[in-house]
A and B are shown apart, each in its own frame.
Chain A
Amino acid sequence: MQLTGKQLTTIIVAIAFIVMAIMTMVVGTDDDQSDDSEKVEKTESTDSLEKSSQNSRDTTVVINKPIEGDPYQELDELIGLGAVKDEVKSLANFVRLQQQRQAKGLKTPKLSYHLVFTGSPGTGKTTVARIVARIYKDLGILKRGHTVETDRSGLVAEYMGQTAIKTNAVVDSALNGVLFIDEAYSLVPEGGAHHDYGQEAISTLLKRMEDDRDRLVVIIAGYPKEMKRFIDSNPGLQSRFTRYIDFPDYTADELVSIFHMYVKKNEYIIGSEADRVLREHLEEVIQRGDRNFGNARYARNLFEKCIQQQANRLSGKKQLTKQELTEITRADLEKSF
């Protein structure tokens, strides 16, 4: 078959248009494979998300699409976090009321939607930030309600002049959604290191928060003491971040509930003897008061180790019953501690 000149041109045009489409594909973003039943485990979890690299091999920026479903219900379903839930609901109520006042032509205070989440790792800060983004969308504050999660490495570059570009790129991806900066205090190293570009990232961020005030909400998170130091270090931060939400550490009972949730979700069972050992262990770990204890993340990791131990215990056995395939025993647990 011989192609005419016009056919060939049409093919070239079609290819050119396909190339254009490829150029507009998002790179470094993955679909959030969020599961509605997955609530607390989403905390600090990135296993269903892609860590994308932007400008640097060490850069971490996670972009989450807003997921469907009722964010208020999801907030209610989170294990523990009573005070956090009350605080978020109170914020939503306040915003809703101010919107109604505004609609009636009444005076409304200037609202700041930026938040500071303080608490230890694994206490649900990232999960709640994702829910807050969707609540803000529901309230009409944000158009998309997605979250972009990053930390110092996603904002600060290694070379002079690159940090503003890098920060701007991350902010661009967060427009109409929430930019969540974990361990934000690391942008200002303790003691104030010379030649650190963290300050440049903060200046860029503050400028964008002003320029894009209708399209950008920033949530910064980290340990309480460090966050206070960070915010006090810059008047611009002080004036913009006025609303704090504290995330307390989980209690042993709550961690047991989280562990049970993983057990149930993954179709395992845990006997009463193993359950007692689990509770005792978690109480002991909490009592130890290790600052780096991972809270919900610790419960998830423990569960993952347990099912690995179960697999090791059952390896080589043939004709396994359903009970054997599903039960996590005391031995599995103890080997996982």
Chain B
Amino acid sequence: MLVVGGGLYLSFRPQTLLLFHIAGSAGLTETIGQWRELWSGISLPEWVVYSLPGALWVAAYVLLTDLLQADSSREKRLLWTGLIPVIGVGSEVLQATGWLPGTADAADAAAYVLPYLLYLISKHQQRIQRTIDNAVDR
């Protein structure tokens, strides 16, 4: 997920991002330029370029944290897994109010929320299934 999201940034996003500046300082501008040249003929939908990487970023974090917190209580797990989605949505709010640079976008905010929402739903389904299984076992 992170590789796909990172690839989208590297290949299709404008080079005004901090990561390109850092890469430029590291002397990678030309390499990145050649890489981007490979994809220059491809036109992706706007949501793929601008919102999907955010959704993949949140999904990767949620799944990784869920794995790390597998032994923790449900509350703790939800708290930890929700951290990055909350930061993501918070950053959109801060952008909207002008506290952070960038363009606030409802689609981006939705992209941060959606994977977490799907995660919560799937967890809820698992819980219900476990309750049913336990009842059947008894």
Contacts and interface: CB of A to CB of B under 8 A. Distances in A.
| Pair from one complex | yes
Interface of A: 6, 9-10, 13-14, 17-18, 20-31, 33, 52, 54-55, 63, 65, 143-144, 164-165, 168-169, 172-176, 211-212, 214-215
Contacts of A144: 46
B69 interface: yes
A173 B61 contact: no
Contact of A212 (B33, B40, B53, B103): B40
A14 B57 CA distance: 11
9 contacts: A6-B72, A20-B2, A24-B13, A24-B17, A31-B98, A165-B29, A169-B14, A172-B16, A214-B43
A31 B69 contact: no
A17 B61 CA distance: 7
B61 A13 contact: yes
The 5 A-B residue pairs with the shortest CB-CB distance, nearest first, are A173-B14, A23-B19, A169-B15, A172-B14, A17-B61
Interface residues of B, number: 43
A26 B102 contact: yes
A22 B80 CA distance: 19
B36 to A, nearest CB: 7
Given A14-B61, A26-B102, A215 B43 contact: yes
A172 B33 CA distance: 11
Contact of A173 (B15, B29, B30, B98): B15
B83 A14 contact: yes
B68 A13 contact: yes
Contacts of B120: none
A175 B91 contact: no
Contacts of A10: 65, 68-69, 80
Given A14-B65, A31-B101, 13 more contacts: A17-B61, A18-B84, A20-B2, A21-B88, A24-B53, A26-B14, A26-B101, A27-B17, A27-B101, A28-B16, A143-B46, A168-B33, A175-B14
Given A21-B57, A24-B18, A27-B18, A176 B9 contact: no
B22 interface: yes
Contacts of B2: 20
Interface in B33-79: 33, 36, 40-41, 43, 46, 53, 57, 60-61, 64-65, 68-69, 71-72
Contact of B41 (A31, A175, A211): A211
B83 A65 contact: no
B121 interface: no
A65 B61 CA distance: 30
B103 A65 contact: yes
B21 interface: yes
A25 B16 CA distance: 9
A13 B33 CA distance: 30
A215 B49 CA distance: 13
B24 interface: yes
A212 B42 CA distance: 9
A160 to B, nearest CB: 13
Given A14-B80, A25-B18, A30 B101 contact: yes
A144 B14 CA distance: 13
Contact of A17 (B16, B21, B84): B84
A175 B44 CA distance: 12
A169 B17 CA distance: 10
A31 B71 CA distance: 44
Contact of B68 (A9, A63, A176): A9
Nearest to A14: B83
B87 interface: yes
B51 to A, nearest CB: 12
Contact of B65 (A13, A20, A21, A215): A13
Contacts of A215: 43
Contacts of A174: 14
Nearest to B104: A31
Contact of A27 (B21, B41, B88): B21
A22 B100 CA distance: 11
B87 A18 contact: yes
B43 A63 contact: no
